Amino acid sequence: MALRRAPLEYNRMWQMRLWLFGVFFFLYAPLVALIAFSFNDSKRNIVWRGFTLDYYKKLFNDQVLMVAFANSLTIAFLATIISLAIGALAAILLWRYRFVGKTAVEGAFTLPLVVPEICMGVSMLLFFTRVIPWPNDLIWPLSLGSIVIAHVSFCFPFVALVVGARLASFNKEQEEAARDLGANDWQAFRDVLLPHMRPALIAGGLLAFTLSLDDFVITFFTSGPDTITFPVKVYSMLRFSVNPEVNAASTMLILLTILLMIVMMVTQSRAQKKAKG
């Protein structure tokens, strides 16, 4: 026999539902409007004239925008690979060893997560242009390489946190058992520790890729005149007017980000089910 809910409980449920609806509407209504108006057959976003795909055709025929998108993908890919290596090693270091100043090192790793991006962007610009004043002020040209270095600086802490959380559930006795059976350090890492880390590496890599692909502030400060990324290009288009082509470009970036986040969530869910099973 089902238990009846008290009137006060019904009122609380409706209040919670109404609150959640308001929160989700506030967060996602602008994104839905942006996606909808990317199909608007009008140059003005405030008036709906009909459905069209012309602005998506213009988007894919815009060579400058496609080059910017290719630059963003290249930067995100390189930053993800480097961040995975540095972040995984940092997580293993903090998980396996005890040393003086470990708390300070952990705090230093998380510092890029809390420092405002505008501060990181300015500091990176100063780093690339003013570190060594001789023979000139520029020690590293502001190009794709400088953007990759800047992106790694704020991406690898995310990887380290995700991998570190995964390592917290690892039973060290498994690694010791592998060594007792004749495995060396590399074999124990490859056959025992690395499979346990794999879901976290995938999730951390996708998170780093998404953060790098979407970044604008730090990229804006560390990019040169000959290197432009997709978010920076979209911003330059917004300086004149918000037209459906800008909406179409933003929609493509949103869909790619959502796709990567879905892959990350599915990977984590499968890893959790496998661990419980």
44 in any annotated domain: no
Quick: pLDDT tens for 119-171. Answer: 888 888 888 776 545 455 445 677 788 899 999 998 999 999 899 888 888 88
For residue 234, being part of any structural domain is answered with yes
Task: Report d(CA 123, CA 118) in Å as an integer.
Answer: 9
Report helix, strand and coil shares of the chain as percent, to nearest 5. Answer: 75, 0, 25
Is the pLDDT at 53 greater than 50? The verdict is: yes
List pLDDT tens digits, range 12-40: 677 788 888 888 888 888 888 888 888 88
Specify the number of domains making up the chain.
1
Whether residue 146 is contained in a domain is answered as yes
207 falls within a domain: yes
Residue 250 lies in domain: 60-169+197-276
Tell me, what amino acid is at 61? Answer: N
The tokens for 258 are 């959502």
Model confidence pLDDT, tens digit, residues 239-276: 766 677 778 888 888 888 788 778 777 876 776 677 66
| C-alpha of 131 from chain center | 28
Reported as type and span, the H/E element at residue 254 is helix 244-276
What's the pLDDT tens digit per position in 198-237?
A: 888 988 888 898 889 888 889 888 887 778 888 888 888 7
pLDDT at 152: 93
Question: Does residue 135 have a cis peptide bond before it, meaning omega lies within 30 degrees of 0?
Answer: yes
Spatial CA neighbour of 245 closest among 28, 59, 77: 59
Structure pTM? 0.77
Long-range contacts of 166-171, Cβ-Cβ distance < 8 Å, separation of 24 or more:
166/196, 166/197, 166/199, 166/200, 167/91, 167/92, 167/95, 167/196, 167/197, 167/200, 168/95, 169/275, 170/196
- Inside any domain, residue 165: yes
Q: Which residue has the higher pLDDT, 157 or 111?
A: 157
Q: With respect to residue 163, please indicate whether it lies within any of the assigned structural domains.
A: yes
Spatial contact of 125 and 221, defined as CB atoms under 8 Å apart: yes
Residue 18: inside a domain: no
- Give the C-alpha distances (Å, rounded to integers) separating 213 from 44, 100, 180: 28, 36, 44
* Residue 257 located in a structural domain: yes
CATH of the domain at 143: 1.10.3720.10
